Amino acid sequence: MKYAIKFRLDIKKNVYVSKRTVNTEPYYQISAIITINKNQTIHYYTGYSAQKTAWFGSTTEASNGDGNRTYGIHKNNYAKHKSSLVLYSVVNKKLDLLASRLAILSNEREAITRDELIEILDKEIGKKRKVVETEISQPTINSDDANQLWALGELFYMDKSVSLGRQKTRMNAIHHFKNFEIYRKRGITFAQSNMRLMTEFQIYLVQDEGQLNDNKKSKSHHTRKKGRNTIAKILTTIKYFYKWCRVQYGVDDMGNVADYKVPSERYGDPVTLTLEEKRRLIEIDLDDECLEYTRDMFYFQCSIGCRVSDFFKLKYENLIYDNGHWCIRYRPNKTKESSGLDCRIPLSPKALAILEKHHKVDVHPKMPLFDFPKYSQTYNDNLKRVFEKAGIDRVVVTYNAYDEAEYKPLYELAKSKFARSSFIDTLVGQGVGDNIIATMSGHTAGSRAFHRYHNSLKNKQQNEAVTLLD
């Protein structure tokens, strides 16, 4: 089978404004134009989109272009789209994979129908259609071919069934694994993957990569030494990659890489606010509208204890009146697959007062509770200013990525995560049962993160108890 493929930005139709960014520049669908045996042309929507300036590389070319380009997103234009760097990298990789899949098919098949091709491309892209009639054959994996390992590595982090954040984590781990291959100057195959290889990889990650930069073959080595938790996350992701290859493509994990023991992550006690500090926050008179709005958002988040990723998705439809109480009800994104349960948090009088203060007239259920797009990018920076103005300067000890103790005033560390930790810490300190707290915080059973709040409370009680000795 002979084929030709080019990608096109459909600038004359399917225009929409991205929901991923506050940028108002519209996004357009990316389509693949595939010619089979010079007599059959198929227009295939890839499921991805891009802005004109990213696609063409410049505003001038974008205004003059007709949508056609030889290939993909303009890779030298990332500086203009820093917020979408990961996204556009993912798009380019996916377009590469589509082209590679066609190349494989051209060698395997002499002929192919339109429906068969679309079904295969849907599988590659991660599309789900209501009716699937043709069984898609899995590629034959050569365990001695390093190229196939990296091809599956790209499929692994391009998996659209996981969140963009999870894709980024996977892509970062595969990136380190690829650099490791360059550093050791020998290809990595499935047949060669074993416990020894993982041990060597861990040693590589632990080393100061400033020293590894002497290896001029790799231009993408980072210069910052990685912390314990970062290394643990990379190793855990690579372990899961081998498991994923076995489940998805039947690759035999002959070296038992999936059983490799990864060093445990290490965390200090969660930083939380006292009731007195929260009172100072809510009572301080701020002469800046932006800081006042940020303070109100944070205090409301302290009242419901959700993750910031879920907080920025709250809409008026999440506000319900249930059993005589106004409540926030939502499904945590992080645990929705494992638990499938909604969180229900009754609102305190102060939380209700904040909602009333910022209530909008004629609200639609899909409208956000707060003006999240305007403040999401500066939320933590503004919080630091709010904390400083409120005089929240209690010195706390934290541990950096290298297990080094650091002593800093609280306002220098202020971030949205404090809201969640303060919410849980307060309830644990008041003796509220773990099961009740978990239904509000969205923690799963046996959560290590939840266990750290108990340790933090124990340390506080020890500090208070020692005063009784005098």
pLDDT band for position 73 (50/70/90)?
A: very low
Q: How is residue 395 written in tokens? A: 């010195």
What is the predicted pLDDT for the residue at 75? 37
Q: How many residues does the chain have?
A: 470
Half-sphere exposure of 338 (CA within 13 A, CB side): 10
What is the predicted pLDDT for the residue at 280? 93
Q: Where is pLDDT greater, at 117 or 317? A: 317
Got the DSSP string for 258-275? GG--PPPP---PPP---H
Long-range contacts, 272-276 (Cβ 8 Å, 24+): 272/418, 272/421, 272/422, 272/425, 272/426, 272/456, 273/302, 273/392, 273/410, 273/418, 273/422, 275/426
**Most confident stretch, 51-65, 156-170, 403-417:** 403-417
Mean pLDDT check: name the lowest of 16-25, 75-84, 192-201: 75-84
Report whether pLDDT(63) > 50: no
Report whether pLDDT(92) > 90: no
CA distance 325 to 347: 7
What is the predicted pLDDT for the residue at 82? 33
Model confidence pLDDT, tens digit, residues 372-414: 878 888 899 999 999 999 999 999 888 776 667 788 999 999 9
Segment 432-448 mean pLDDT: 78
Per cent of the chain over pLDDT 90 is: 29
What is the predicted pLDDT for the residue at 271? 86
**Most confident stretch, 320-324, 385-389, 424-428:** 385-389
pLDDT band for position 60 (50/70/90)?
A: very low
Q: What is the mean pLDDT of the chain?
A: 77
What is the predicted pLDDT for the residue at 79? 31
Report whether pLDDT(347) > 90: yes
Fold of 275-469: hpI Integrase; Chain A (1.10.443)
Q: Where is pLDDT greater, at 293 or 250? A: 293
Per cent of the chain over pLDDT 70 is: 72
Helix (H, G, I), strand (E, B) or coil at 336: coil
What is the predicted pLDDT for the residue at 90? 61
Mean pLDDT check: name the lowest of 63-77, 82-96, 128-142, 247-261: 63-77
Segment 225-240 mean pLDDT: 88
What is the predicted pLDDT for the residue at 119? 79
Q: Closest Cα partner for 90 from 170, 147, 25?
A: 170
What is the predicted pLDDT for the residue at 430? 83
Q: Give me the residue label for tokens 């996350």.
A: 233
Report DSSP state, residue 303.
H
Q: What are phi and psi of 163, to 5 degrees?
A: -70, 165
